[in-house]
Amino acid sequence: MLTWAAPWCFAILPLPLILRAVLLPHSRTRDSVRVPMFDVLVTTSGQTPGSGASIASRSIAAAVVLTLAWIAIVAALAQPQWLLDPISRDVATRDLLLAVDLSGSMETEDFTDESGKKTDRMTATKQVLDSFLQSRHGDRVGMVVFGNGAFVQVPFTQDLDVCRELLADLEPRMAGPKTALGDAIGLSINLFDRSEMESKVLIAMTDGNDTGSRVPPAQAAKIAANKGIIIHTIGVGDPEAAGEQTLDETELKAIASETGGQFFRAQDRDALQSVYTKLDAMDTRTVETISHRPRKALYPIPLAASLALSVGYQTLAMAWALLRRRRLVAVAGSESMEVAV
């Protein structure tokens, strides 16, 4: 589709006519006589034209060429543009952060994989999270892992393929054997502080109680709540277990309640899959689509056309004048020979 960036430039199209109308009455004029074949008479007579004598050089062709060249220049000034096909892209409207427990208890083989075979909690978690990430179109996703401390595995990104690749690299005890859930929430808050998104959601998954945080989970949850961060907690451990592997459901429920989130229990792979399915349905995504149409500048075309018209006409005019001059010289020479004879 053709459009013009400065269509008001076409208002100057009649400018040459206006200037001619204004300036022509003030020019000095004299009476003159148009003599056909004046140049031939001058050549054959051998006389020099007097003052004021001239050969009319402007023709209809010249007027047409000048008019077309002027129109082309004005068209170039109006900046013609060709609208290309629209390009659309989705812009994230929410930041979603996953906090994954890498403590030693994630090696416990009490889950099943996709084929139904027994596997450890870490493997089952990665399979479920991978499926969950594939449906996160429209979100910026990040990942925090925690053990003895908390670490950023994936900063916020819309490149879900990269996020899935780094998820696949996770192994139990990579961050130490303990469970620093409070530190993971604190690190997540720092990441969200750098975000300009209005919607901020943290999904924290752990299979034990907090055993190594410098910041108590309850205190971290209060800070998150004040900053508008929603935390959903998922307990994948056995609440009947003893020692450090005991799942503190009370604490996880308190964290979720403090921030406006929900607590989920998942004691097997199917239950964990169901939890993420519920989260996907509960936290609906709003995708903002930005669309624009690229423009291709076409002003060089009329500009080149104007130049081609001017140069082409001048070249043809010079060639025609040279041809006529040679012809007149030949005619004059033949007439001189006839007179001599």
Q: Which residue has the higher pLDDT, 254 or 60?
A: 254
List the one residue out of 132, 123, 145, 233 whose CA is nearest residue 191. 145
Q: State the average pLDDT over residues 178-193.
A: 93
Mean pLDDT, residues 207-236 = 90
pLDDT at 327: 74
* pLDDT at position 336 over 60: no
pLDDT in tens, 256-276: 999 999 999 887 778 888 888
pLDDT value at 286 more than 80: no
The per-residue pLDDT for range 77-107, each reduced to its tens digit, is 999 998 887 776 665 567 889 999 998 888 8
| Percentage of the residues of the chain whose pLDDT score is greater than 70 | 77
Residue 315 pLDDT level (bands cut at 50, 70, 90): confident
Domains of the chain, by residue range, sit at 2-25+37-46+56-85+295-340, 89-291
- Fold of domain 89-291: Rossmann fold (3.40.50)
What local confidence, expressed as pLDDT, does residue 164 receive?
93
Proportion of the chain above pLDDT 90, given as a percent:
28
Q: State the chain's mean pLDDT as an integer.
A: 81
Q: Is the pLDDT of residue 122 over 60?
A: yes
Is residue 334 scored above 70 in pLDDT? Answer: no
Lowest mean pLDDT among 73-77, 166-170, 244-248, 337-341: 337-341
